Structure 1
Amino acid sequence: MSAAARVEDAVKEYGAGETRVRALDGVSVEFAAARFTAVMGPSGSGKSTLMHCAAGLDTLSGGRAWLGDTELSALGDRELTLLRRERLGFVFQAFNLVPTLTVRENITLPLDLGGTAPDHDWLDALIDVVGLGDRLHHRPGQLSGGQQQRVAVARALAGRPQVVFADEPTGNLDSRSGGEVLGLLRSAVDTMHRSVVMVTHDPAAAAYADTVLFLADGRLVDTMQQPTAARVLDRMKAFDGRRAPAGAR
């Protein structure tokens, strides 16, 4: 299966000398196209750093990263900005909506900033999928947390990105609203054929994915296919401060 994004021998270090921290320590991984991948691990394991570097939001200290066939390290700042705008979507825990804009304006904001006319058929289908047709003229402050995150998911998908990167997208939501958002991300893969990479600490959220990657101490230590919440929880319990043995489930 082709890779929507990948990193090879990825190293990321912060600081220098005695304060230097190696957040990624030689990670090589592929995120499959039109699949849902979850990334898990203890706090400080490097999972958010991996996502940020794979998405071109941060640069690697060593190794290489690709989006499709495009190597990110070969791009300048302007080229990276255009790539992120045109080929990637982002969903964050904090929603990051503009409070003075309506729902529809928030959804189309990345396209408007890029001077790109929206595909109205795609946009209408997207609004229908996220169930916000009766909220398009509302502002974020008039919506529940779950509705705001659904707007954020729609915004991430509005430009038909190759990959959507989601960093703890349900972290601020109750279980019902979180389930709605995860169902939307799952639908983006199954019906819209997008690729989704999600960082999460929640085994129930990870169970929506096709594949779960487990990081510890900046290294990839395990991979699980067709996860369930119970299997993911059992695997997470193994992280007791010692590096877990490598291997696949």
Structure 2
Amino acid sequence: MTSTTSTSTASTTTGRAAARVVDAVKVYGAGDTAVRALDGVTVDFPAGRFTAIMGPSGSGKSTLMHCAAGLDTLTSGSAFVGDTELAGLEDRRLTLLRRDRVGFVFQAYNLVPTLTVAENITLPLDLAGGTGDPDWIDALIDVVGLRGRLHHRPAELSGGQQQRVAVARAFASRPEVVFADEPTGNLDSRSGAEVLGLLGRTVRTTGRTVVMVTHDPVAAAHADEVVFLADGRLVDRMTDPTADKVLDRMKAFEVPS
């Protein structure tokens, strides 16, 4: 594997991992129709960092995120959030872990249309029967720039503003790690850049961790590090990415016609 000075194929990074997988294998189907979506991936996602996962279509990037987040199970290998191995949890404990220690941001904003911005932000906490940390939530509202929109409903917001609400909701419970799956996929370039800048700013100002799946080199350039997958395998890591460096790396995956 050819690598530039800004890349490393090492599977570990210094410091604590907010989430990680070890020898991760995920197979869908059986027999001749079996698809090996992950093929022995070992990778960590350092705490307090913004990591992007990239790769060609079918490379396993969304599968990796889903298994690392406890939304799907591995065929073999291990997945951890902090020091907790997900495979060892029964359903209720896994549900509690996803609620209390993991946040999610998806391409669809998934806001409740009848609730205000403030109510959407605290909805997971309300459903859990808690109130969270009022000072944390108050500071978070300023980080995402929603102070003047708290009493608006989703239909009164732009797409970028709605995704800001979704980001605030994901961080409201002070999770150890937030997983974002193509969070700018439904946004125009300007709104997308604002949301990506917001994710990076939230990592820096709150010390939280973000792991984002994206197909866009410009989006990946907002991260501290990019993890590259191909054919279900970890093939490279790039620190301090730029859009051009990520695009050049992605071109290496293209199959000549």
TM-score by length of 2: 0.93
**1:68 paired to 2:82:** yes
The residue identity in structure 2 corresponding to 1:21 is: V
Q: Return the match for 2:138 from 124, 127, 141.
A: 124
**1:190 paired to 2:204:** yes
Please state whether the residue corresponding to 1:58 is helix, strand or coil: coil
Contact 2:20 2:42 in 1 (8 A): yes
**1:201 paired to 2:231:** no
Give the Å deviation of 1:178: 0.7
Contact 2:100 2:173 in 1 (8 A): yes
CA deviation profile, 1:147-173 (whole Å, cap 9, x unmatched): 000000000000000000000001111
Give the Å deviation of 1:7: 0.3
TM-score by length of 1: 0.95
Q: Return the match for 1:35 from 49, 54, 59.
A: 49
How do 1:72-221 residues align onto structure 2 when only pairs under 5 Å count? 72-221=86-235
Runs of 4+ residues deviating >6 angstroms? none
Q: Distance in 2 between matches of 1:235 and 1:125?
A: 38
Q: Distance in 1 between matches of 2:255 and 2:95?
A: 38
Q: Which runs of 5+ in 1 are unaligned?
A: 243-249
Give the Å deviation of 1:45: 0.4
CA deviation profile, 1:88-110 (whole Å, cap 9, x unmatched): 11000011111111111110011
Q: Distance in 1 between matches of 2:111 and 2:234?
A: 33
Q: Give the CA RMSD over aligned residues.
A: 0.9
Q: Distance in 2 between matches of 1:48 and 1:158?
A: 24
Q: Distance in 1 between matches of 2:70 and 2:255?
A: 30
Quote the residue 2:6 is aligned against.
none
CA deviation profile, 1:192-224 (whole Å, cap 9, x unmatched): 000110000111111111110000110011111
**1:24 paired to 2:38:** yes
CA deviation profile, 1:124-163 (whole Å, cap 9, x unmatched): 1111111111111111111110000000000000000000
Q: Distance in 2 between matches of 1:52 and 1:188?
A: 22
| Identity score, percent | 76
Please state whether the residue corresponding to 1:189 is helix, strand or coil: helix
Q: Which runs of 5+ in 2 are unaligned?
A: 1-14
Q: Distance in 1 between matches of 2:219 and 2:131?
A: 34
